[in-house]
Amino acid sequence: MKSTFLRVLLAIAVTFTFSALAQTGSAATPSGAGAKPADPAPTAPAATTGPSAGTKIGAINIQEAIFGSNEGRRDLEALEKKYEPKRNELKSQNDELEGLKKQMTTQEGKLSDEAAATLKKQIETKQKLFDRAVQDFQEEGGNQQQEIAGRILQKMAPMIVKYSQENGFGMVVDTSKPWPQSAVLWWDADKIDITKAVVDAYNVQSGVPAPAAPGATTTPKPTPKAAPAKPAAPKPTQPQ
């Protein structure tokens, strides 16, 4: 059962594609003398009962847990700084394009056919280069985010299993995506959400201190950012 639970966790897509992790299965479970066990999990929030009396159901936002942890926030901040020069470069290219388009609009009818054709060709060429640069930037940034998420999830998944077992949960569902993207239509976060408890325990185990500037956890733009699973959920700096 534990192995199956891990395989499910490692296969969760969230905003990312964790296809490689889906193959790790129970390999994510710490083993050997070098493995660091999770610290005692805090008291679980009150949980509702499922179809079978006594079966506790919990909910966790995997995306929030990953990027809400000190390690996730730290790595996203580092990623933000890494991509800042490229983002500024793209902004300059976009500003240049907008300037040319404005010139085309304001000088419409005033330019010769040859000059208008040259300007139009220049805009089209620069637009193609810009679109390609943005696409490459998004793909590279997305791959970097996947690497961060996958690395953290491999260490966090066994902790989620341990926490769930120690607190008597018979089922834990992922609420990273809103319905209908996920099968979870509604849940009472105050009663069954274990995201914060898992994050707190993971922060203790990882030993990574909280970033100096908690608010600076935005992901490299223009990488798409997933919508939070519920209104009260803090943004993980998704994963735009």
* In the chain, domain spans: 2-76+152-206, 82-141
Helix (H, G, I), strand (E, B) or coil at 60: strand
Handedness of CA 233, 56, 11, 180 (dihedral sign): negative
Local structure of residue 25 (DSSP, 8 states): G
Token duo for residue 141:
């940034």
Fold of 2-76+152-206: Protein Binding, DinI Protein; Chain A (3.30.910)
pLDDT value at position 187?
Answer: 84
| pLDDT exceeds 60 at position 84 | yes
CB 69 within 8 A of CB 203: yes
Q: pLDDT grade, residue 21 (50/70/90)?
A: very low
pLDDT value at position 213?
Answer: 60
| Chain segment 173-182, per-residue pLDDT in tens | 999 988 888 8
Q: What mean pLDDT comes out for the span 27-38? A: 38
CB 223 within 8 A of CB 78: no
Q: What is the pTM of this model?
A: 0.63
49 pairs with which residues across the strands?
Answer: 56
pLDDT value at position 110?
Answer: 87
Helix (H, G, I), strand (E, B) or coil at 174: strand
CA–CA distance, 192 with 163 (Å, rounded to integer): 13
Cα-to-chain-centroid distance, residue 29: 22
Q: What is the largest CA-CA distance in the chain?
A: 81
| pLDDT exceeds 60 at position 208 | yes
Residue 43 CB neighbour total at 10 angstroms: 8
CA–CA distance, 111 with 86 (Å, rounded to integer): 34
Q: What mean pLDDT comes out for the span 109-135? A: 92
- The phi and psi torsions of 233 (rounded to 5 degrees) equal -75, 130
Which residue did the predictor score with more confidence, 203 or 26?
203
pLDDT value at position 54?
Answer: 57
Residue 54 CB neighbour total at 10 angstroms: 8
CA–CA distance, 149 with 71 (Å, rounded to integer): 10
Q: What is the end-to-end Cα distance of the chain in Å, rounded?
A: 36
pLDDT value at position 223?
Answer: 42
pLDDT value at position 45?
Answer: 55
Q: Is 37 exposed, middle or buried (0-12, 13-18, 19+ CB in 10 A)?
A: exposed
